[in-house]
C-alpha cells in the first residue's frame, strides 16, 4: 500500500520528523510519499483548492493508493477523489497524530472524508519524545531541554519578611518548581538570611542569587541547593570557593556569550558540572532580538538553558498573561529548560500561574507537533477563540419589543450605597447611608451581599438593580486584582474610545 501525505513546504520538515516515530512493523508494510505543495501553509485551504493544486502534481501522485489530507482543511475529500482518481481521507488536525492515523489504516479501518480522525476515535496518543534528564536539583529532574519547562520564581531583594512570606506562599500555591532568593548589597544580610529560611520552608528547591562573598557563605550554611552567579563573579579570581559547589546547581548568566563560555570552563575545571546557562533575554527595543543569537550560541555548551521573562514582562506595558504565551513559545523553540519569572511590580502578580498555563499550552503543541492553539487555554482571558453565537430574537406574539437608550437618569432613593473592594482582606465592603443611619456589610462574595442587603432594606427595584450591577463589577475586580471605582468602567480596551 502506498500512501501520499499532502503537506506544505513549511510543514514538510515537521511531517518528516513525526514519521520517524512510526511503528517499524507498520513502516515496513506501508510505503509513504510526502507530497509537498508549493505553498507556505495548507490548513487554511478548502478541499476544492487542494484538488486544483494536486492535479498539477500528477507525477507525484503516480502509484498512490490513498491520499491523506490535513484534518483542518475545510470541505469533503470527495472533490479530491474526483479530480485525481485516488481515494482521499481526512487525516488529523495535529501532525503528532499521524502515526496513529497510519496505524488505523494499517489495521484496515476506514477514515472519514468529511471529518478529522479526532472526531471519530477516542484515546488517540500524540508522539511522546523522551525527556532526557541533565542532572538533579534535589529530587527535581532538570531536563536537558524543554518542553515542558520548569518554572523558577524569584523572591526579589529588599522585600521585608512579611512580603517575602506572602510571595513564597503564592509561588508554592501556583506551582513554582524552583525558588530563587534574590540578594542585594543594599540590604542587610540578616534579611537575606530570613528570606532563605522562608523559601526553604516551602519545600521547593531553593537557589540563592549571590551579591557578595558573605551572602555566598550564608547560602552555603543554610543549605541552598544551588546558586545564581554572573560570569564576572566566576572570572574575577578568588575561585577557591568553587570547589565547594561540586554537588550544587549553578546558574551562570551573562549577555556576553564569550564570557559565559569562559565562566563555564572554569566551573568545569573545579569539578562543577551541574550548570544552567543564562544568556540573558534582552530588553524590548534595546537588544531583545539579540536574545536569539545569544541562545543559539550558548546552546553549543550542552547545558540546560534558563530563559528569564522578567525583562520583557516588566518593561512592556501589556497584560502579562498574553505576553507569557509568546515568551514561552520562544523559550521552547530556543531549547530552554527553565523559565524564570519574578513579581517585581504589581503588574506581574500571578506570573507563576500564567507561566504554568503557558508551559502546558506549549507542551501540548510540542507533543502534537502543531502551533500552540487551544480554545480552552486560560491565557485567553478577555478575548476568546470563536465569535459569540448568534442570538435569534423571537418576536413576541403579544406585546412589543422596546429599544431602551443606553443611559437614563436614575430615580433617587432615600439612601445611597458606597462600595469598596479590600484586596488585602479579600472582601467587598458595602456602606449604606440614610440620614443618620449607617450600615456596613462585608463579604468575599457579591451574591451573599446582594441577597442580605435586599432582604434587610426597603429599597426600590431600580436601586436593587443598580446594587447588583455594581456588586458584580466589584466581584470581578476582586477576582482579577483590579482597582474598583464605583460608577466607573472596570476595564479599558484599545478599541474603547
Residue whose cell numbers read 506562599 = 169
What local confidence, expressed as pLDDT, does residue 131 receive? 76
At 132, is the secondary structure helix, strand, or coil? Answer: coil
| 487 lies in some domain | no
* Cα–Cα nearest to 482, from 406, 381, 407: 381
Dump pLDDT digits (tens) for 143-169: 999 899 999 999 999 999 999 999 999
Percent of the chain with pLDDT over 90: 67
Q: Are 442 and 428 in contact (CB under 8 A)?
A: yes
83 and 193 part of one domain:
no
Contact of 153 with 179, CB cutoff 8 Å: yes
Least confident residue range of 89-93, 173-177, 292-296? 89-93
Higher pLDDT, 178 or 402: 178
Average pLDDT over residues 240-267: 92
Across the range 23-43, mean pLDDT stands at 88
What local confidence, expressed as pLDDT, does residue 428 receive?
A: 97
Q: Give the mean pLDDT of 476-496.
A: 90
Q: DSSP assignment, residue 434? A: E
The CATH number assigned to the domain holding 205 equals: 3.20.20.20
Q: Is the pLDDT of residue 375 over 80?
A: no
Strand-pairing partners, residue 208, are 181, 227
Work out how many domains the chain is built from and give that number.
3
Question: Residue 98 sits in a domain of what CATH number?
Answer: 3.40.50
* 436 has pLDDT over 80: yes
pLDDT score for 14: 87
Q: Are residues 288 and 190 in the same domain?
A: yes
pLDDT of 218 above 70: yes
Indicate the residue among 349, 368, 387 that finishes a domain: 368
Domain C-terminal end among 88, 119, 150: 119
For residues 104 and 215, state if they share a domain. no
Q: Is residue 157 part of a domain?
A: yes
Q: What is the structure's pLDDT at 72?
A: 87
Residue 410 confidence (pLDDT): 87
pLDDT at residue 439 tops 80: yes
Q: What is the rounded distance in angstroms from the CA atom of residue 22 to the CA atom of residue 197? A: 50
What's the whole-number mean pLDDT along residues 14-20?
Answer: 88
> What is the secondary structure of 183-232 as a DSSP string?
--TTS-HHHHHHHHHHHHHTTS-EEEE-SSHHHHHHHHHHT-SEEEEEHH
Q: Is the same domain home to 318 and 352?
A: yes
3-state secondary structure 45-74: CEHHHHHHHHHCCHHHHCCCCEEEECCCCE
Residue 375 within a domain:
no
Q: Is 245 a residue whose pLDDT tops 80?
A: yes
Residues 300 and 174 in one domain: yes
With contact defined as beta carbons under 8 Å apart, do 354 and 321 qualify? yes
Q: Of the given ranges (51-65, 337-351, 471-485), which has the lowest mean pLDDT?
A: 51-65
Q: Is 130 exposed, middle or buried (0-12, 13-18, 19+ CB in 10 A)?
A: exposed
User: What domain range is 242 assigned to?
Assistant: 139-368
Helices (H), 37-184: 47-55, 78-84, 98-106, 161-174
**Per-residue DSSP letter, 410:** P
Residue 32 domain-assigned (yes or no)? yes
What pLDDT does 129 receive?
67
Residue 390 falls inside a structural domain = no
Looking at the structure, tell me whether residues 109 and 164 fall in a common domain.
no
Alpha carbon 204 to its chain centroid, in Å, reads 21
**Do 179 and 209 belong to one domain?**
yes
Average confidence (pLDDT) over 57-71 = 90
Give 497's pLDDT tier (boundaries 50, 70, 90): low
125 has a pLDDT exceeding 80: no
DSSP bridge partners of 89? 68
Burial 199-216 (b: 16+ CB within 10 A, else e): bbebebbbbbbbbeeebb
Determine the 3-state secondary structure of 3 from DSSP: strand
DSSP string, 252-284: EE-S-HHHHHHHHHHHHHTT---EEEE--PPPT
Is 358 found in the same domain as 218?
A: yes
What's the rounded mean pLDDT across residues 322-342? 96
Please report which confidence band the pLDDT of residue 474 belongs to, taking 50, 70 and 90 as the band edges.
very high
pLDDT at 301: 94
Task: Specify the pLDDT at position 57.
Answer: 85
Kindly state whether residues 353 and 421 are assigned to the same domain. Answer: no
For the chain, the residue count is 497
Facing residues of 442 across strands? 429
Average pLDDT over residues 329-349: 95
- What is the Cβ-side half-sphere exposure of residue 93, based on CA atoms within 13 angstroms? 15
Q: Which of 380, 382, 314, 315 is nearest to 351 (CA)?
A: 314
Sheet holding 206-209, edge to edge: 275-278, 249-253, 226-230, 206-209, 178-181, 150-155, 338-342, 306-308
- Read off the pLDDT of each residue in 250-274 and give the average, rounded to a whole number: 95
pLDDT band at 239 (very low <50, low <70, confident <90, very high): low
Range 61-70 average pLDDT: 92
Of 399 and 407, the structure prediction assigns the larger pLDDT to: 407
Q: How confident is the model at residue 383 (pLDDT cuts 50, 70, 90)?
A: confident
Please, which pLDDT band fits residue 237 given cuts at 50, 70 and 90?
Answer: low
Inter-helix orientation angle 351-368/161-174, to 10°: 30
Most confident of 21-35, 92-106, 414-428: 414-428
Task: Give yes or no for residue 47 having a pLDDT over 70.
Answer: yes
> Looking at residue 391, what is its pLDDT?
83
Local confidence band at 130 (pLDDT 50, 70, 90 cut-offs): low
Other beta carbons less than 10 A from residue 68's beta carbon: 24
Strand-pair partners of 133: 143
Question: Using a CB cutoff of 8 Å and minimum separation of 24, what contacts does 76-81 make?
Answer: 76/47, 76/113, 76/114, 77/47, 77/113, 77/114, 78/47, 78/113, 79/47, 79/48, 79/51, 80/47, 80/50, 80/51, 80/54, 81/113
pLDDT, the chain, mean: 91
Q: What is residue 422's three-state secondary structure? A: strand
Residue 89 lies in a domain: yes
> What percent of the chain stands above pLDDT 70?
98
240 pLDDT above the threshold of 80? no
End-of-domain residue from the set 350, 368, 386: 368
Q: Using alpha carbons, select from 228, 238, 294, 303 the residue that is nearest to residue 265.
A: 303
Domain for residue 332, yes or no? yes
The predicted model gives 427-443 an average pLDDT of 96
463 and 320 share one domain: no
- Report the alpha-carbon distance of residue 242 to residue 269 in Å, rounded: 10
Does residue 180 belong to any structural domain of this protein? yes
Q: Does residue 72 sit in the same domain as residue 202?
A: no
Is residue 298 domain-shared with residue 356, that is, in the same domain?
Answer: yes
Residue, of 290 and 383, whose pLDDT is higher: 290
CB 418 within 8 A of CB 430: yes
C-alpha grid cell, residue 50: 487542494
E strands, 272-399, are 275-278, 306-308, 338-342
Amino acid at each position: 500500500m502506498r500512501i501520499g501525505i499532502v503537506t506544505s513546504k513549511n510543514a514538510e520538515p515537521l511531517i518528516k520528523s513525526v514519521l520517524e516515530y512510526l511503528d517499524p512493523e507498520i513502516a515496513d508494510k506501508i510505503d509513504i510519499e510526502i507530497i509537498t505543495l508549493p505553498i507556505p501553509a495548507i490548513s487554511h485551504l478548502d478541499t476544492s483548492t487542494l484538488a486544483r493544486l494536486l492535479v498539477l502534481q500528477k507525477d507525484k501522485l503516480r502509484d498512490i493508493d490513498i491520499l491523506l489530507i490535513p484534518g483542518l482543511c475545510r470541505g469533503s475529500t470527495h472533490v479530491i477523489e474526483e479530480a485525481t482518481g485516488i481515494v482521499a481521507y481526512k487525516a488529523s488536525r495535529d501532525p503528532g497524530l499521524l502515526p496513529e492515523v497510519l496505524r488505523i489504516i494499517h489495521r484496515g479501518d476506514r477514515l472519514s472524508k468529511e471529518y478529522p480522525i479526532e472526531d471519530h476515535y477516542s484515546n488517540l496518543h500524540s508522539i511522546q519524545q523522551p525527556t532526557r534528564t541533565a542532572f538533579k536539583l534535589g529530587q527535581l529532574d532538570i531536563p536537558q531541554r524543554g518542553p515542558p519547562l520548569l518554572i523558577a520564581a524569584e523572591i526579589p531583594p529588599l522585600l521585608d519578611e512579611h512580603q517575602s512570606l506572602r510571595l513564597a506562599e503564592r509561588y508554592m500555591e501556583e506551582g513554582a518548581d524552583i525558588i530563587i532568593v534574590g540578594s542585594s548589597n543594599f540590604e542587610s544580610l540578616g534579611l537575606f538570611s530570613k528570606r532563605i529560611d522562608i523559601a526553604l520552608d516551602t519545600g521547593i528547591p531553593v537557589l540563592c542569587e549571590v551579591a557578595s562573598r558573605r551572602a555566598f557563605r550564608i547560602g552555603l550554611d543554610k543549605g541552598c541547593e544551588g546558586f545564581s552567579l554572573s560570569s564576572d563573579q566566576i572570572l574575577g579570581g578568588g575561585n577557591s570557593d568553587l570547589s565547594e559547589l561540586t554537588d550544587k546547581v549553578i546558574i551562570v548568566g551573562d549577555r556576553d556569550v564569550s564570557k559565559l563560555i569562559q565562566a563555564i570552563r572554569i566551573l568545569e575545571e573545579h569539578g562543577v558540572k551541574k550548570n544552567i546557562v543564562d544568556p540573558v533575554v534582552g530588553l524590548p527595543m534595546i537588544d531583545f532580538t539579540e536574545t536569539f543569537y545569544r541562545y543559539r550560541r550558548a546552546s553549543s555548551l550542552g547545558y540546560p538553558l534558563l530563559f528569564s521573562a522578567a525583562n520583557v514582562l516588566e518593561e512592556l506595558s501589556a497584560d502579562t498573561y498574553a505576553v507569557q504565551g509568546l515568551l514561552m513559545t520562544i523559550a521552547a523553540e530556543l531549547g530552554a529548560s527553565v523559565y524564570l519569572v519574578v513579581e517585581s511590580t504589581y503588574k506581574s502578580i500571578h506570573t507563576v500561574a500564567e507561566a504554568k498555563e503557558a508551559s502546558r499550552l506549549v507542551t501540548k503543541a510540542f507533543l502534537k507537533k502543531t502551533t500552540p492553539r487551544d480554545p480552552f487555554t486560560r491565557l485567553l482571558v478577555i478575548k476568546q477563540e470563536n465569535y459569540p453565537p448568534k442570538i435569534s430574537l423571537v418576536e413576541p406574539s403579544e406585546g412589543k419589543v422596546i429599544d431602551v437608550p443606553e443611559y437614563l437618569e436614575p430615580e433617587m432613593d432615600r439612601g445611597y450605597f458606597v462600595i469598596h473592594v479590600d484586596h488585602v482582606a479579600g472582601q467587598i465592603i458595602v456602606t449604606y447611608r440614610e440620614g443618620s443611619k449607617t450600615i456596613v456589610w462585608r463579604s468575599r462574595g457579591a451574591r451573599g451581599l446582594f441577597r442580605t442587603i435586599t432582604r434587610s432594606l426597603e429599597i426600590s427595584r431600580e436601586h436593587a438593580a443598580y446594587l447588583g450591577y455594581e456588586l458584580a463589577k466589584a466581584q470581578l475586580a476582586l477576582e482579577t486584582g483590579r482597582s474598583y471605582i464605583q460608577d466607573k468602567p472596570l476595564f479599558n480596551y484599545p478599541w474603547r474610545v
